[in-house]
Amino acid sequence: MADHARRGVLKGTAAAGAFARIGPATVRRCQGDPQVRRHSGQSERAVRPAKLDWVRNEIARMRRAIRTLEREIQMLKRAVIPTVSAELLLTRMRAKADDLCRQREVLRQTPEGGRPRITSQAA
């Protein structure tokens, strides 16, 4: 039973019954990649930092948002509505996605210890 109904705040009202029927909130969590949760000593993918997964998911989300905004801008252009502010937003979103891609590359080259690997480049 909800706090309001228990304390009698809504006693005698229709809302009291509605609150009484609400159960505890359950949080659904998506199942992540089981390889990521394994401890070191498993596969290379198992020791991948969680931050790298977050950056990859954020890049995918940003790309979806960019595609959506591009479609909306096209619709506005067809309707002969000014799109300057939307195009500026699109530019900022693309810059953010580029920054995330650079961050992803740094995280890929970073070993588990945290310092970037120095890779020798052939001359």
pLDDT in tens, 70-96: 999 999 999 999 999 999 999 999 999
In a domain, 98, yes or no: yes
pLDDT tens readout for residues 27-74:
444 445 444 454 445 455 544 678 999 999 999 999 999 999 999 999
- Whole-model pTM: value is 0.53
| Better-predicted residue by pLDDT, 38 or 119 | 119
Smallest Cα–Cα separation from 20: which of 2, 46, 4?
2
Alpha helices in the chain (DSSP H): 3-7, 14-21, 34-37, 50-78, 84-109
In a domain, 87, yes or no: yes
In a domain, 30, yes or no: no
Whether 114 and 51 have beta carbons less than 8 Å apart is answered as no
Number of domains in the chain: 1
Q: What residues make up the domain containing 82?
A: 49-110
Mean pLDDT of 110-116: 62
Instruction: State the CB neighbour count (10 A cutoff) for residue 62.
Output: 18
In a domain, 39, yes or no: no
* C-alpha–C-alpha distance, residues 52 and 102, integer Å: 11
